[in-house]
Structure formats: C-alpha cells, structure tokens
Amino acid sequence: MNRRLIFPRSLQYLIAIAEYGSFTRAADALYVSQPTLSQQIKQLEASLQTSLLDRSGRTVKLTDAGQVYVYHACRAWDEMDAGARAIDNVDDLSRGSLRLGWTPITDHLTCCLLENYNYMYPGITLSTLEMPQDDIKEAVIEGRIDIGIAFTKPFTSDTQPNEIETHVLFEEKLCLVVGNSHTRANMEKKVTVEELGQESLALLNTDFALRQQVDKYCLKHHITPHIAIETNSLNVIIEMVQFGQLATILPNSIVRSQCGLHAITPSPELPQKAVTLITRKEGYKSPACKAFSALASDWASRRLEEIPRRKMTPCPLSDAGAEDSNKQALRETSKSVSKAETINPDKVA
C-alpha cells in the first residue's frame, strides 16, 4: 500500500529551493506560484527567528542555519517515510507484537498454538504473562494484555463483563491422572468419589481456577481430598505424578501431551471446562491480534489430529523408552572402550 506522507509544505518548499537554487525553478517543480512559495518561506523564517536562505547572489543558497535546519528536516522526512513502511509491515504481519495472558493450565493446553503462530509470523514478538484466572479479564479490559486465554466454564450473559467478548476454542474433560508406577495406571474402570478421596493428590494452590473446581466437586460429593502437595507450578505436579505414587486432576489434553501419565475418569465425572479466548469488545485490535484469533479457531478445530511433540519419540518412562536408553548407554560404553584401546593398545593387550 502506498501511503501519502503529510509533511509540512514550508519544509518541502525549503528543501526544493535548496535543491534547485532558485525560487522560480522550485515553484515550477512543485506546481505552485512563486508568491505562495516565498510567503511560506518568510513565515518559516519568522517562526524560527532566523534567515534560512541567502538571496544576495545569482542563486539562492542556504545560510549556515538553513543548512543545519534542512539536514534535520530531511532526516525527519526519512523517519516519516520509514514509519509509513513500518505500518505496512505491521499490516502484512511481517512485524509487530502481541501480549498474551494465560494460566498454567492454558499454557500447557495451547503451547502448540503458540508454536504454530510463531512459525507463521516469525516477525511478531510474543510476550506471555502467567496470571491467576480472575486477573485475565481485568488485564484485557485495562489493556495490559491483548488476548487472554482462560480455562473456565463458558461465560454467560450474567457473568461476562460488557467490555469483553469471548470465543470458546474447545471444551476439555477433567480426569484423575496417575503415573506408570501407580497401582491404577492400567485400570480402565472409572474411579468412584470415595476412591478419589483416598488418593494422595498433588494440586495447584487455591489461587487457580482448576483447584477451585476440584474443591467444589469434592464439597458437592461430600469427600475430603487428601492433598499431599500444593504448588503454583504445573510442571512440578506433572513430574511428581510421573515418577511417584501421587495422583492429580488435570485436563485430558495434558495427559495426551505428556508421556508416563494415565487418565482415569471419575464417577460422577468432573465438570467440563472451556478453553476460551478473551478480547476487548471495543477499541483497536492489531493485525497480530486478529491473526492470532483466526489461527486459534483453525487450530482448535484440528488440534486432536496433531501428534504432541513429546509423543513423537519414545517416552523415557515407558518400556520402549527404557530400552532405547539402555541401547544408547551401551553405545556410549562401547565408544569409550574403543577409545581407550586406541590410546593404550599395549595396556589392553
């Protein structure tokens, strides 16, 4: 897109006079009358309280002050031109920025979406901010983030603020999650609420929406959960469950994306939650923001077809993964022995 730069006419006239050395030729080149051009220059000199042109000779020349002023005027013109080109770059998504707010849960659930976005628009700088669920809506309304990604029940007209609009990407099933060494790892039957109450759980702390939903479920079904570990780190929970006897409650998609985890459905089932985009209803939305929303909708419709990156290689916690690790260790040992034989052949003999 060609954008017309709005540059002060008096500066355009001054630069033209300096280039042509004549009021007449400058006026002809600019398609203006000479009196108009002369008047603009006089007004500019009056505003600066100095003479910019030396009119005493056969050709008009810049004074010392005029040379300094034209130098900076040309730089300003170049910067304005660069700004216009930068706008074009923002519009075609070759550069720009996007600020995202999310919870630890949506971090794991939508990480592939960010990888896809970065691959498609490498010139866009992504800034992510992890925050409690309740803060996301306020951050969007106040303009501290461009898009929020929430993990919650779908908003209703009563619970959704007027300043925001929401778009449900997909709904997610919550399940009890255990690791390979847990006694329930290979059980296919559902777990009762009574059995759930007997499990030692690793959960997020009460600042997070997922934990609040677990507490509501337990209260509704009159069980007291045995919470062994509380943390604000989802990665800690996943590793504790993968390598130990603890259980947790997570969205099914996280289990799908991690090796060494097994999902068990509680009975009655936990309420489903929605992964939801939150944006401002009114006001400016950048091209980067619009592109993310469009890509998110497309990605949500085909996300189950993608093979999670962590599932593309054998899991180190599985038998296949352990076998691969043992083979790798044997290869490394063989290399070390061969190297030793090469260095000290007499000693080996």
Q: Would you list the domain boundaries of the chain?
A: 9-91, 96-171+275-311, 174-271
Q: What is the pLDDT of residue 89?
A: 66
Given a cut of 90, whether residue 178 has pLDDT beyond it is yes
Q: How confident is the model at residue 296 (pLDDT cuts 50, 70, 90)?
A: very high
* pLDDT above 60 for 41: yes
Model pLDDT, residue 349: 38
Peptide bond just before 8 cis, omega within 30 deg = no
Tell me what the mean pLDDT of segment 247-261 comes to. Answer: 89
Q: Which residues contact 302 (CB under 8 A, 6 or more apart)?
A: none
User: With 50 as the cut, is the pLDDT of residue 311 above it?
Assistant: no
pLDDT score for 67: 94
Show the tokens assigned to 308: 């999670």
Nearest CA-CA partner of 188 in 113, 122, 267, 246: 267
Query: Options 3.40.50.280, 3.30.60.50, 1.10.8.100, 3.40.190.290; which CATH number does 174-271 get?
Result: 3.40.190.290
pLDDT, position 269:
93
More confident residue, 317 or 127: 127
Average pLDDT score over the chain: 83
Residue type, 214: V
Weakest-pLDDT range from 163-172, 195-204, 318-327: 318-327
Confidence of residue 162 (pLDDT cuts 50, 70, 90): confident
Instruction: Give the separation between CA 107 and CA 129, rounded to whole angstroms.
Output: 10
Q: What is the pLDDT of residue 157?
A: 54
Which helix (H) or strand (E) element contains residue 228? strand 226-231
How is domain 9-91 classified at the architecture level of CATH?
Orthogonal Bundle (1.10)
pLDDT at residue 319 is higher than 50: no
Residue 348: is its pLDDT beyond 50?
no
Mean pLDDT within 135-150: 90
Q: Whole-angstrom Cα distance, residue 43 to residue 192?
A: 87
Write down the architecture of domain 96-171+275-311 according to CATH: 3-Layer(aba) Sandwich (3.40)
- Tokens representing 142 are 């106040």
Residue 332 pLDDT > 70 = no
Would the pLDDT of 333 be above 60? no
pLDDT of residue 308: 54
pLDDT above 70 as % of the chain:
82
Q: Pick the closest to residue 74 from 23, 22, 19 (CA basis).
A: 19
Asked whether this chain's domains 9-91 and 174-271 adopt the same fold, the reply is: no
Residues 2-11 have a mean pLDDT of 72
pLDDT reported for residue 249:
95
Query: Which comes out higher in pLDDT, residue 227 or 58?
Result: 227
Query: Which has the minimum average pLDDT: 111-115, 157-161, 329-333?
Result: 329-333
pLDDT at 298 over 80: yes
Could you tell me which residue, 341 or 121, shows the higher pLDDT? 121
Distance of CA 203 to the CA centre of its chain: 26
Phi, psi for 100 (deg, rounded to 5): -115, 140
Alpha helix (H) residue ranges in the chain: 9-20, 23-30, 34-48, 64-91, 104-109, 111-120, 133-141, 193-198, 209-220, 234-243, 252-257, 287-302, 319-343, 345-348
pLDDT in tens, 207-221: 888 898 899 999 999
Binning pLDDT at 50, 70 and 90, where does residue 200 land? very high
Tell me whether residue 102 is exposed, middle or buried, using C-beta atoms within 10 angstroms of its C-beta: 0 to 12, 13 to 18, 19 or more.
buried
